[in-house]
Structure 1
Amino acid sequence: MSVSLLLEMAASSNPDRTAVVCDGVSGDVRLTTQQLSDLADGGAGVVAGTNARHVVYLGAGGMMLPLLIFAAARAGLAFTPLNYRLSADGIHALIRRLPEPLVIVDSRYREMFPEPTPLLMSSDEFLTAAGTTEPTTVVADPDDVAIVLFTSGTTSVPKAVELSHNNLTSYITGTVEFDSAAPTDAALICVPPYHIAGVSAALSNLYAGRTMVYLPDFDAREWVRLANAERVTTATVVPTMLERLVTVLETSHDKLPSLRNLAYGGAKVGLPLLRRALELLPDVGFVNAYGLTETSSTIAVLTPEDHRTAQAASDAVVANRLGSVGRPVPGIEVQIRDDDGSVVPPGRTGELFVRGPQVSGRYTGIGSVLDENGWFPTKDHAMLDEEGYLFIRGRSDDTIIRGGENIAPAELEEVLIEHPQVRDVAVVGVDDSHWGQAIVAVVVPSAGIDPDAEELRNYVRKSLRGSRTPDRVVFRDELPTTATGKVLRREIVRELLAAPAEH
């Protein structure tokens, strides 16, 4: 099944439904599913006329993201949205890794291309041409590459993940019911277009029949205003966005009367923040969605019912599930394996492996990393409980080896975040001549608080073994993160090594 069929189905079922709402150069833009489909047809003709072999987009998203996904698919080419937050050198380095790409760029990033480039168009030029060019449609093979996304590269050089039409459509058709949304349902989308969550939001909401309301430049107050103005019923945020929304809702006392579901993901959310959000929005169904680029988005979900059950539970086992990512979605199998590859029983931590038709596990220039039975190694440490709830314990690359003992930063972070004087925290390992690595807790204090480092160390010691007590506690105003809220641990370690020791 080709990705383009998702749009064909939506346009055939309800051609006059508003599909996309966003700010454009000349004001508010609203496209019906039929108008989006017609533009995608013309856009495919534009792409075909350039003889390019790949389509690249550098921009903030909005209507351009779904348009280019489908225009590229109908031209029979793969599509790559790039991280506009990178430097010009970083962006050009990624473009050089793609075969003869047509680059489409928003006007605000046009200065990154000072030299004349044959296969370069502004977003406005592309839109104009798409409205007048003869349509072209190529029927893609389901196994052809539809989307190539570069990983964030938080710990290494970004890898180019290849997602086939079959990977993406398997995820959508396996997790979303076609045309199931009410006529008034609307989704507020503010995740970056170059992230798998941005791609899957465009595909899943279109397939479900929701209007997609885009907010490319996130601002918490504008998010609340737009959610109410467009009567948004569902939305997806990353942890940093959720924190800012909670602050706005606490100070402004605004309500979100139309909102029914709020999904969050991209990185771990501290439980105190999540509990406060649940209190502020008692009528909203919260969804924790866990996934990876290589798995075409979500592979496990903590449902609204799971959230409220865990929030109200007196049983510690059930209450702890608020910190899980829920259970696997249909079509996904999971295994937890130890270092020798053996599957471990519930309650044991190991590396998470996943399998299913939505799982790609392919990289440009590397090929497939699936094992002989189709299992993908996520590099995430995880644990399954007796009821199949999945707990993510952090990346295997983040493991601290102190005195020969493996320590997951998440163990300490989950304790420290519960301290009332801690707003955010990241635990990292730094080279140490005695222990091999020392444990450093980098703490962002709660507003107006000046915590005592020794008190925080003692707080950890009361919950964990002494060997897991931070060797050092340092304080910062904020943690460096990606746009999706993932902590840039490599930057933290680099900064710590360059600075004098603190205690």
Structure 2
Amino acid sequence: MKKVIYKNIHNYFKFNGVHLNGEELRVAAYYFIKEGDEHEKALGEFLLDWFDDNWYIDLQTSGTTGVPKIIRKSKQALVNSALATGDFFGLKPGDTALCCLPVQFIAGKMMLVRSFILGLEIDIVPPSSTPLTLLNKKYDFVAMVPMQVQNSFHDLHKVNQLIVGGAKMDSSLEQKLVGLKTKVYETYGMTETITHIAAKRVGETAFSILPNVRISQDDNECLVIDAPLVSEERLFTNDLVQMINENQFILLGRIDNVVNSGGVKLIPEKIEEKLSNSISSRFFVGGIPDAVLGEKLVLVIESNNKDFDDTIFHLLEKYEKPKALFFVPEFETTESGKIKRKAILKSLV
């Protein structure tokens, strides 16, 4: 049995400006559950779960590619993940952090765990699309989803290091972030890997893995992850990658999104990247059944306005040009904000 250290709270840890130990956090948890709003109730429930006598904690997956499910992870694995993040990003005791993500999901939980273990001074704010607007403080370390980054662009000077995950960052947003004084990183990971196991600075093409992680590819050229300190099992992903070396990879797209149109395999994410600067609304490309081609490539745009200039297709290769166009008033998404591509495409057939 590994030494249990998850109940040890770093002496430098602060919660909303106040030093609290484990017992004081448990007291705060009861208050949050009884008197708090929705995000505080979730915070209180997590704190009670973290400081109970169980060796594990149950986590909910996002349900991006299927039905959301509950997976069980050891608390020590979450500690190990926090330590790896601290090493990779050079976090030190006394650094300030902001949690503006829902604590119901792993990304929000891990901001708290990193603070407990690394001795960060963390502030908790209700999840919103503009979490920095009313804050007059500078933070050393913050995690956001792309929508929050997009809506907080003019406030990012308040952040030293920003990690962005939960959904793919489109190239137009990434280009806006390149050159900022704020160090912005896109992260790669999932609930099963306890958030990120790799990250890349915006403007770079390849992800670099965190400490104690090994990567390889399976026969379909999808990423395989060996991260024994956060997952007892080898993880076979559905993410197509190009391996640069044993520590770096380029993410190409998901194999379950690949469209086989007339024998030509198309990666939607690469097509979307080419169109990202030309379509202002949310959009994606995917495949629907076709009697001749097997699958037909289509472009789906979130909009009530059906005006569209298809001259932008000159940016694409011949086989990459969509055969049909659909407008959807509002995209169906997971609780964490990821677009449910398969469900939307199914509704169009």
| TM-score for both structures, normalised by structure 1 | 0.61
Change (3 A) 1:224 1:399: same
Change (3 A) 1:259 1:156: closer
Q: Which has the larger radius of gyration?
A: 1
**Helix, strand or coil for the counterpart of 1:456?**
helix
The whole-number CA distance in structure 2 between the counterparts of 1:468 and 1:152 is: 29
Q: Which runs of structure 2 are paired with 1:101-180 in the superposition (5 Å)? A: 140=55, 146-176=56-86
Change (3 A) 1:328 1:31: same
**Helix, strand or coil for the counterpart of 1:37?**
helix
8 Å contact 1:60–1:217 — kept in the other structure? no
Aligned to 1:353: 224
The letter of the residue matching 1:240 is M
8 Å contact 2:97–2:140 — kept in the other structure? yes
Aligned to 1:395: 254
The whole-number CA distance in structure 2 between the counterparts of 1:434 and 1:155 is: 27
The whole-number CA distance in structure 1 between the counterparts of 2:3 and 2:328 is: 44
**Helix, strand or coil for the counterpart of 2:159?**
coil
User: Are 1:474 and 2:326 matched, yes or no?
Assistant: yes
**Helix, strand or coil for the counterpart of 2:282?**
strand
The whole-number CA distance in structure 2 between the counterparts of 1:42 and 1:296 is: 25
List runs of 5+ in structure 2 lacking aligned partners.
Answer: 31-35
Q: Which runs of structure 2 are paired with 1:56-75 in the superposition (5 Å)? A: 60-62=38-40, 65=43, 67-75=44-52
The letter of the residue matching 1:40 is R
More helix by share: 1
1:352-407 CA deviation, whole Å, 9 max, x = no partner? 1000223437xxxxxxxx4xxxx211222222225843222222222222223332
Of 306, 331, 336, 2:217 maps to 336
Deviation at 1:481, TM superposition (A): 3.0
The whole-number CA distance in structure 1 between the counterparts of 2:28 and 2:169 is: 42
**Helix, strand or coil for the counterpart of 1:157?**
coil
Aligned to 1:205: 115
Of 57, 74, 92, 1:181 maps to 92
Q: Which runs of structure 2 are paired with 1:38-437 in the superposition (5 Å)? A: 38-40=24-26, 60-62=38-40, 65=43, 67-77=44-54, 140=55, 146-176=56-86, 181=92, 183=94, 185-220=95-130, 223-226=132-135, 228=136, 230-246=137-153, 249=154, 255=155, 257-279=157-179, 282-303=180-201, 307=202, 310=203, 321-322=204-205, 324=206, 326-339=207-220, 350-360=221-231, 370=233, 375-386=234-245, 388-419=247-278, 421-437=279-295
**Helix, strand or coil for the counterpart of 1:32?**
coil
The whole-number CA distance in structure 1 between the counterparts of 2:3 and 2:103 is: 17
Alignment length, in residue pairs? Answer: 344
The whole-number CA distance in structure 1 between the counterparts of 2:37 and 2:313 is: 44
Aligned to 1:127: none
The whole-number CA distance in structure 1 between the counterparts of 2:50 and 2:328 is: 45
The whole-number CA distance in structure 1 between the counterparts of 2:15 and 2:164 is: 21
Change (3 A) 1:234 1:173: closer
User: Are 1:37 and 2:37 matched, yes or no?
Assistant: no
Deviation at 1:477, TM superposition (A): 5.6
8 Å contact 1:272–1:418 — kept in the other structure? yes
8 Å contact 2:42–2:104 — kept in the other structure? no
Deviation at 1:293, TM superposition (A): 0.6
Deviation at 1:4, TM superposition (A): 7.1
The letter of the residue matching 1:401 is N
List runs of 5+ in structure 1 lacking aligned partners.
Answer: 22-29, 45-57, 78-139, 141-145, 250-254, 311-320, 340-349, 362-369, 498-503
**Helix, strand or coil for the counterpart of 1:480?**
coil
8 Å contact 1:336–1:351 — kept in the other structure? yes
8 Å contact 1:7–1:207 — kept in the other structure? no
Aligned to 1:87: none
The whole-number CA distance in structure 1 between the counterparts of 2:29 and 2:152 is: 36
**Helix, strand or coil for the counterpart of 1:274?**
helix
8 Å contact 2:5–2:76 — kept in the other structure? no
Of 303, 313, 328, 1:457 maps to 313
Identity %: 24
